[in-house]
Structure 1
């Protein structure tokens, strides 16, 4: 299983950049193996991300914004879902991973 975080390296939005950094920092601090996928560099990856977000999780207008998180092909959620799971200490479950008992870092 590979956690994949879809990001946009050239986003003009400060909020999107901060949210992407928050997800990546948390995964790094907790030693979760992940792959960062830059949708601004690959139209194919961007289209894959759009196609694989369940309809009930897509915004009513516009396209889903990064970061979007997957475990292999299973959609985990967006930043809001990630943040909620972080606040309730259920990130590993959110990511579809077994909890890491030695994990104590919470950036």
Structure 2
């Protein structure tokens, strides 16, 4: 399972840049392995991302914007879905990964199962 984060290295949007930095920084800080896929540098990456974002997750007009997260080819969500998972201490579940022992998420899961 590989977490793929689709970003745009040359986005003119400050909000998109901040969201991308937030996602990548969180993954790096928590030592979660991921691949960064730049849609600005690769037409292939841009096309793949746009084709694999589900219809119900697309904007009403225009194309889906980064950051977008996938686990291999399974769509996980956009920044707002990631942010919500992080606020709820459920990022590992959101990413489809097992929370490491000692993490807030693993402790919360253990309490739920007890």
TM range (shorter): over 0.9
TM-superposed deviation, 1:103: 4.2
Aligned residues: CA RMSD:
1.0
Quote the residue 2:62 is aligned against.
62
TM-score by length of 2: 0.88
Q: Which runs of 5+ in 2 are unaligned?
A: 105-114
Q: Conserved in 2, the CA contact under 8 Å of 1:6 and 1:68? A: yes
Structure 1 consecutive aligned stretches of length 4 or more whose deviation exceeds 6 Å: none
TM-score by length of 1: 0.94
Higher relative contact order (CA 8 A, sep 6+): 1
Structure showing greater radius of gyration is 2
Matched, 1:75 2:66: no
1:55-104 per-position Cα deviation (integer Å, ceiling 9, x unaligned): 01111111111000000000000000000000011110110101112446
Q: Distance in 1 between matches of 2:59 and 2:18?
A: 20
Q: Which runs of 5+ in 1 are unaligned?
A: none
TM-superposed deviation, 1:53: 0.6
How many residues align? The count is 104
Closer, same or farther in 2 for the Cα pair 1:97/1:90, shift >3 Å?
same
